[in-house]
């Protein structure tokens, strides 16, 4: 489903990024002179801000003349906290940063550790990670769709989306024992083997899910209100999207065929057949279409992962970084020592700096890690896709109405935990 042959007309001429501050839309002095400018605080506690985002909106009637996003209300110092924890304890933190696509966040950090360590996880772990990351993507898109449609008045969709989301969480619970924040990925592979019943249950879900996506689309795609409120709203051109660092579905809705799973294949993505949905209008509707198609593609990937799941070990056999099997602790002194050392002191990671970028449900999720050779990360920095997505607020709401603001914010799909870290 790549771009239709022949480039369509540009979404708009020139650039719409406001100046001099690219992220703040300032009221035109002439309008401020004679207009009736009303300054409204949108958030930080507003049901459609997807968390605690505050927008200072300046309105002229219904028109948005000025907007500035104020973030930081959910800043919890994850990066600082991670510097205080041993490498393997720090793995629990990234998941809590973006609490909707948690497995992908965990993956970015684990891949960074593995890159520093020079460890290659066994194929079974790689494939299972691919599978779980795609389920995470489905999970994240379901919540985006449910809440995004809810905000525009399509209330019933929320219940359908949360029904399927619950099925995904059941699968996570089946594999890892917990529904969210699973901490299933370890440096070197997976925490535990895949339980026997998982494959049948997951296949049931993968067989059922595409029809459900069709159902959602049937509810929205022929609904006049939905179309009216999403088509031609929140425009973002390809050039502006790149300049503003947008990635993921927002970028692909602006006509750019770019997905790190294809351009910089990691995990098992280079052995899997899937398409990148690309739409060219750069509006809220196209962002919705991209995500709907992505859910279908993710299901395809899940099915291929189920078919191609290799046999064998789920974690590398390196006792310096991986816990010994539980049963060995009763019989082997070495295993006991390794277990004790790993749990108390953790493992040391060779000095160096790496940047790992993965395609999260929201776009490029980067993890920059510096190690000094000690048992704790020296510095961890996340390139949070939600943080970058909100930089596009001023550009996308330009010339919009206050009601569109909600549709546009929803279409950028920000998670404030991810944004503020």
Partner 1 sequence: MSWEDVPGFIETREDRGEVTVVVETAKLREAATYLRDERGFNFLSDIAATDYLGWNERTVAGYWGHRSGRDINLPGSWGLARKPAPKENRFSLSYQLLVLVSGAREAPRLRLQAWCDDGEPVPSVVSIWPTADWHEREAFDLMGIVFEGHPSLKRILMDDDWEGHPLRKDYPIGGEPVRFSGAE
Cβ of residue 321: shortest distance to partner 1, in angstroms? 14
| Tokens of residue 322, six digits | 């991986």
Cβ of residue 359: shortest distance to partner 1, in angstroms? 11
> Using an 8 Å Cβ cutoff, are 410 and 394 in contact?
no
Closer to partner 1 at the Cβ: 143 or 244? 244
Tell me if 388 contacts partner 1 by CB under 8 A.
Answer: yes
Phi and psi at residue 92, to the nearest 5°: -70, -20
Tell me if 242 contacts partner 1 by CB under 8 A.
Answer: yes
Taking CB under 8 A as the binding criterion, the range among 158-166, 307-315, 322-330, 382-390 that sits at the site for partner 1 is 382-390
Tell me if 200 contacts partner 1 by CB under 8 A.
Answer: no
Cβ of residue 419: shortest distance to partner 1, in angstroms? 9
* Chosen residue from 25, 27, 90, 116 binding partner 1 by CB under 8 A: 116
* Chosen residue from 256, 292, 342, 407 binding partner 1 by CB under 8 A: 256
Q: To which H or E segment does residue 199 belong? A: helix 198-220
Closer to partner 1 at the Cβ: 233 or 389? 389
> Using an 8 Å Cβ cutoff, are 280 and 4 in contact?
yes
For the beta carbon of residue 19, count every other beta carbon within 10 angstroms: 8
Tell me if 22 contacts partner 1 by CB under 8 A.
Answer: yes
Q: To which H or E segment does residue 164 belong? A: helix 156-176
How many helices and strands, by DSSP H and E, does the chain display? 18, 9
- State how far the Cα of 67 lies from the Cα of 55, in Å rounded to an integer: 7
> Using an 8 Å Cβ cutoff, are 233 and 404 in contact?
yes
Cα Rg of the chain (Å, integer): 23
Closer to partner 1 at the Cβ: 6 or 20? 20
Binding-site ranges for partner 1 (CB under 8 A): 2-3, 17, 20-24, 71-72, 75, 77, 79-80, 83-84, 115-116, 118, 238, 242-245, 255-258, 260, 262-264, 345, 348, 351-355, 357, 364, 366, 368, 370, 372-379, 381, 383, 387-388, 390-391, 420-421
């Amino acid at each position: 489903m790549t771009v239709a042959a022949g480039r369509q007309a540009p979404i708009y001429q020139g650039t719409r990024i406001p100046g001099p501050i690219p992220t703040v839309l300032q009221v035109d002095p002439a309008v401020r002179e004679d207009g009736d400018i009303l300054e409204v605080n949108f958030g930080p506690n507003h049901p459609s801000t997807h968390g605690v985002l505050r927008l200072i909106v300046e309105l002229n009637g219904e028109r948005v003349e000025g907007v500035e996003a104020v973030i930081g209300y959910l800043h919890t110092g994850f990066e600082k906290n991670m510097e205080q924890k041993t490498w393997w304890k720090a793995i629990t933190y990234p998941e809590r940063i973006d609490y909707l696509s948690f497995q992908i966040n965990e993956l970015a950090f684990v891949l960074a550790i593995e890159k520093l360590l020079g460890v290659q996880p066994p194929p079974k772990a790689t494939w299972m990670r691919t599978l779980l990351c795609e389920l995470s993507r489905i999970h994240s898109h379901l919540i985006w769709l449910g809440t995004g449609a809810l905000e525009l008045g399509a209330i019933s969709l929320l219940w359908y989306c949360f029904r399927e989301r619950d099925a995904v969480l059941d699968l996570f619970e089946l594999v890892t024992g917990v529904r969210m924040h699973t901490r299933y990925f370890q440096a070197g592979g997976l925490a535990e083997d895949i339980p026997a019943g998982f494959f049948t249950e997951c296949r049931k879900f993968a067989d059922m899910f595409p029809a459900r996506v069709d159902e959602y689309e049937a509810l929205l795609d022929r609904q006049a209100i939905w179309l009216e409120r999403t088509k031609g709203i929140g425009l973002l051109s390809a050039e502006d999207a790149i300049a503003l660092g947008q990635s993921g579905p927002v970028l692909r809705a602006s006509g750019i065929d770019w997905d790190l799973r294809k351009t910089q294949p990691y995990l098992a993505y280079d052995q899997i057949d899937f398409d990148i949905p690309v739409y060219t209008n750069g509006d809220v509707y196209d962002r919705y279409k991209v995500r709907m198609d992505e859910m279908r593609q993710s299901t395809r990937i899940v099915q291929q992962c189920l078919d191609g799941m290799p046999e064998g070990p789920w974690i590398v056999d390196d006792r310096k970084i991986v816990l010994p099997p539980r049963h060995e602790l009763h019989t082997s002194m070495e295993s006991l020592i390794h277990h004790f050392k790993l749990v108390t002191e953790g493992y040391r990671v060779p000095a160096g700096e790496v940047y790992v970028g993965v395609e999260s449900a929201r776009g490029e999720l980067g993890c920059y890690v510096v190690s000094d050779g000690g048992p704790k990360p020296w510095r961890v920095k996340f390139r949070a896709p939600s943080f970058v997505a909100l930089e596009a607020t001023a550009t996308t709401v330009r010339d919009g109405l206050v009601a569109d603001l909600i549709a546009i914010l929803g279409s950028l799909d920000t998670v404030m935990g991810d944004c503020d870290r």
